[in-house]
Amino acid sequence: MDSRERTFLALNFEQPDRVPLDLWISSGLWNKLAQQRGVSKETFLDAHDVDLRYIAGPRYVGPPQRSFADGSREDLWGVRRRTVELHVRDSAGCDATERYQELSESPLAAATTVEDIDAYDHWPSADWFDYECVAEQCSAIQTQGRVAVFMGDRLNRIAQLKPAMYLRGIEHILLDMSLNPDIARAILRHVREFYLAYAERIYAAASGRLDLVLTGDDFGAQNAPLLSPAMWTDYLATGFSDYVTLAHNYGLRVMHHTCGSVRPLIPAMMRRGLDVLQSLQPEANGMDPYELKAAFGDQPDARLAFQGGVSIQRTMPFGSTADVRAAVRRCIDALAPGGGYILGAAHNIQADAPLANLDALLAAHREFGSYR
């Protein structure tokens, strides 16, 4: 059974030969793997039979992104960011470096009217990308029997709230939803218009070779959602539904990434057609895997599949190999019966995780992931 057959059986709530496997790893941890073991990313993924593979997506050919004297650089949205290096040492005493793009300026922070929003001169265009490479990227994955997924990068992922946060500022956009609703709606409208055009160009260019699209918006903090269900429905439900419907029209499954405590929002996402919920951050309130499976993944009339669940906050960086093994077993025991689960970490496993713990995760998947 190849990865595509295995994964689609699971997403159809049937039991394949084993639980499908996805592996999110930060660039810092990939570098550590290369340095310590001399292994490439693709070789490592193939060696461990990882089922989901991510295409690079279209090539940016738009206006040059400006650099500034303070070291910051514009992104797609005209948001200024600077590269920050974080040097870490894992529990085994191995050093590594992570690099992040930290927001340094939100260009719409001072806007006071809808006219200011509409007049912003850096709203991106779907024409800023070359999509010709997409079909070949997908074919290279499907030819190997793997699942072809489009996710984009961390700064350009099909979303609504996160780009609005970057453009306006986190506090600003959340306050706008209560105090300046017209401004919030104007920003979100521009974001949606871009992503609907951009996504459709990707799906069309894939010519049926893409399997799954991952959208990504963080709707939750550690203790509760960032928005109430009513506010989520008011501001984000239409765009969420439009993104899902567009993907479904091209025969794609939709997986949505959100960190945090989002259980109160799950029914609203399911009503808009979501296929797979990703992250399942175990430290967040209300995200117990047994309870999520019972409430949303084991219902005859509407079922949601899940991906993730292994902690990158505690277990992967600070736990023992026995802790990792137990965490993987718990996720599989809770979420895999009857299908509807892809094993993975709650987010990118960072360079502060010892390689022994990564080995333990993969070994536990082999030990506990079989349905036979």
Q: Which domains does the chain have, with CATH numbers?
A: 3-368 (3.20.20.210)
Q: At 299, is the pLDDT very low, low, confident or very high (cuts 50, 70, 90)?
A: confident
Residue showing tokens 């992922």: 157
Assigned token pair, 203: 């799906």
CA pair distance 83, 103, nearest whole angstrom: 9
Task: Please give the pLDDT value at position 155.
Answer: 85
CA pair distance 130, 364, nearest whole angstrom: 41
CA pair distance 263, 272, nearest whole angstrom: 15
Q: Is 9 helix (H, G, I), strand (E, B) or coil?
A: helix
Q: At 154, is the pLDDT very low, low, confident or very high (cuts 50, 70, 90)?
A: confident
CA pair distance 355, 31, nearest whole angstrom: 12
Provide the mean pLDDT of the chain.
97
Task: Please give the pLDDT value at position 372.
Answer: 78
Task: Please give the pLDDT value at position 245.
Answer: 98
Nearest to 188 by CA among 215, 216, 159, 214: 159
Q: What angle do CA 337, 340, 342 make, to 5 degrees?
A: 100
User: 255 near 212, Cβ under 8 Å?
Assistant: yes
Q: At 252, is the pLDDT very low, low, confident or very high (cuts 50, 70, 90)?
A: very high
Q: How many helices (H) and strands (E) does the chain have?
A: 15, 12
Assigned token pair, 142: 């499907």
Cα dihedral: 261, 88, 343, 34 (round 10):
150
Q: What is the pTM of this model?
A: 0.97
What are the distances in angstroms from CA 80 to CA 62, 159, 168?
17, 19, 12
Nearest to 257 by CA among 153, 145, 146: 153
Residues 6+ apart with CB under 8 A from 299: none
Cα dihedral: 267, 271, 273, 275 (round 10):
20
> What secondary structure letter does DSSP report for 297?
I
Residues 6+ apart with CB under 8 A from 284: 220, 221, 222, 223, 259, 260, 261, 262
**Does position 302 have pLDDT exceeding 90, yes or no?**
no
